[in-house]
Amino acid sequence: MSFTSLKELIELAEQGKTTISELMIKAEVEQKGYPRDIIIEKMAEQFTVMEEAVRKGTMSPAMSRTGLTGGDGNRLYQYAKNGFSIINPTTLNVAANALAVSEVNAAMGRIVATPTAGSAGILPAVLVHALDSGNFTREQIVQSIFTASALGLVVANKASISGAAGGCQAEVGSATAMAAGTLVELFGGTPEQVGNAVGIALKNSLGLVCDPVAGLVEIPCIIRNGLHAITAQAAADMALAGVASVIPPD
């Protein structure tokens, strides 16, 4: 089973009265030949790596090898704890999470490319935030990552996840769309609402160029991860509220 369009993915989920994550798990079982519990166990391992990167970069400064960047994830996390931020401190933690993962990447730490290293902070940021909220179990979070996988697979098949080829919309834009759609399903939204979240997120990043300073995945990549993690949440809320993407996500 290979998903070539989001329309196809949504229709399959609706026709089967199932979720996008379940479709992706089924596809993985068919392609890999592993039983369902092994597939989920492997994804749980991926989430562990994501969470470790978040904790590492928020609890202490993660400094890049070049010295260009570092410590902002921890800095923002500490600032949010003061409770005097302009936006809700809890929401600000999402940005801190994303900065943290991106800084761990720049420090040559271990991350999960979701879908790329340059955009690896966004999905872990919103997932760990959802876990920390206490509203979801770890098992629910792990299940939701299959939604992100399916959405990323469609983007990779239909367009590009390479910043060099498609600009930063292909990386940060794709990651934002993956995270937004994942949150919608996690919060009980319909497959159609998942599609709207993806469309809203991608339109927000339309034309986003890949312009790394000194040719490194640090500036402006790290800050973009932080800002777009919050964008993913906003796009998900819009979709759950009934806001539709006028331009189809495909």
pLDDT tens digit at each of 250 positions of the chain: 678 899 999 999 999 999 999 999 999 999 999 999 999 999 999 999 999 999 999 999 999 999 999 999 999 999 999 989 999 999 999 999 999 999 999 999 999 999 999 999 999 999 999 999 999 999 999 999 999 999 999 999 999 999 999 999 999 999 999 999 999 999 999 999 999 999 999 999 999 999 999 989 999 999 999 999 999 999 999 999 999 999 999 9
Burial class (CB in 10 A: 0-12, 13-18, 19+), 242: exposed
- CB distance 20 to 150 below 8 Å: yes
The position carrying tokens 């819009």 is: 238
Question: How many Cα atoms are found within 13 Å in the side-chain-facing hemisphere of 184?
Answer: 36
Tell me what the pLDDT averaged over the chain comes to.
96
* Token representation of residue 244: 């539709």
Q: Strand, coil or helix: what is 250?
A: coil
| pLDDT tens, position by position, 230-240 | 999 999 999 99
Burial-class residue 68 by CB neighbours within 10 Å (0-12, 13-18, 19+): middle
What region does 167 belong to: left with phi over 0, alpha with psi -120 to 50, or beta? left
Q: What pLDDT does 3 receive?
A: 84
Tokens of 15: 């026709």
H or E element in which residue 123 lies: helix 122-132
